[in-house]
Structure 1
Amino acid sequence: MFDFTEIFCAIDDFFKKFEPIYWQFLKQENKRKRIRLATLSLSEIVTIAICYKTSQVNNFKTFFQLLYQFESKLFKSLPCYKNMLSLINQHQLAIHALHRALSKGQACQYLWIDSTPLPVCKNKRIPRSHHALDDIASRGKSSIDWFYGCKLHLLMNSEGQIVNTVLSPGHIADIRKIEELVDGLLATVYGDRGYIGKSIKTKLLEQDIDLITYPRKNMRVSLLLFSDEYHLRQRKRIETLIGLLKEKYHLVSSKHRAISGFLAGIFSSLCAYQLCQKNKPKIHVVRNLAYP
Structure 2
Amino acid sequence: MHDFTEIFCIVDDFFKKFEPIYWQFLKQENKRQRIRQATLSLSEIVAISIYYKTSQVHNFKMFFNLLCQFESKLFKDLPCYKNLITLINQHQLAIHALLYALSQKDESSYLWIDSTPLPVCKNKRIPKGHHALDEIASRGKSTMGWFYGCKLHLLMNQEGEIVNSDLSNGHIADLKKVEDLVNGLSATVYGDRGYISQPLKETLKEQGIDLITYPRKNMRVTLLPFSDEFHLRQRKRIETLIGLLKEKYHLVTSKHRSIAGFLAGVFSSLCAYQLCQKNKPKIHVIKSLAYP
TM-score, normalising length from structure 2?
0.99
> Aligned-pair distance for 1:107?
4.5
Percent identity between the aligned chains? 80
CA contact (8 A) 2:186 2:208 kept: yes
Question: Which residue in the other structure is 1:170 paired with?
Answer: 170
What is the distance in 2 between the residues matched to 1:2 and 1:149?
30
Question: Which residue in the other structure is 2:154 paired with?
Answer: 154
Q: Which residues in structure 2 correspond to 1:50-199 (within 5 Å)?
A: 50-128=50-128, 130-199=130-199
- Unpaired stretches in structure 1, ≥5 consecutive residues: none
- SS of residue paired to 2:126: helix
CA contact (8 A) 1:140 1:149 kept: yes
Question: Which residue in the other structure is 2:220 paired with?
Answer: 220
Q: Which residues in structure 2 correspond to 1:200-279 (within 5 Å)?
A: 200-279=200-279
The answer as to 2:291 corresponding to 1:288 is no
> Aligned-pair distance for 1:123?
2.0
CA contact (8 A) 2:126 2:147 kept: no
Q: CA RMSD in A?
A: 0.8
- SS of residue paired to 1:159: coil
- Unpaired stretches in structure 2, ≥5 consecutive residues: none
CA contact (8 A) 1:106 1:161 kept: no
CA contact (8 A) 2:104 2:162 kept: no
> Aligned-pair distance for 1:124?
1.8
> Aligned-pair distance for 1:129?
5.1
What is the distance in 1 between the residues matched to 2:42 and 2:274?
19
CA contact (8 A) 1:130 1:257 kept: no
CA contact (8 A) 2:187 2:209 kept: yes
CA contact (8 A) 2:129 2:148 kept: no
What is the distance in 2 between the residues matched to 1:166 and 1:180?
8
> Aligned-pair distance for 1:128?
3.7
Shift of the 107–122 alpha-carbon distance from structure 1 to 2, 3 Å rule, reads farther
Residues 233-256 of structure 1 show CA distances to partners (whole Å, capped at 9, x for unaligned) of 000000000000000000001000
Aligned length in residues: 292
TM-score, normalising length from structure 1?
0.99
CA contact (8 A) 2:225 2:289 kept: yes
> Aligned-pair distance for 1:127?
4.0
> Aligned-pair distance for 1:112?
0.1
Residues 30-51 of structure 1 show CA distances to partners (whole Å, capped at 9, x for unaligned) of 0000000100000000000000
> Aligned-pair distance for 1:104?
4.1
Residues 139-170 of structure 1 show CA distances to partners (whole Å, capped at 9, x for unaligned) of 00000110000000000000000000010000
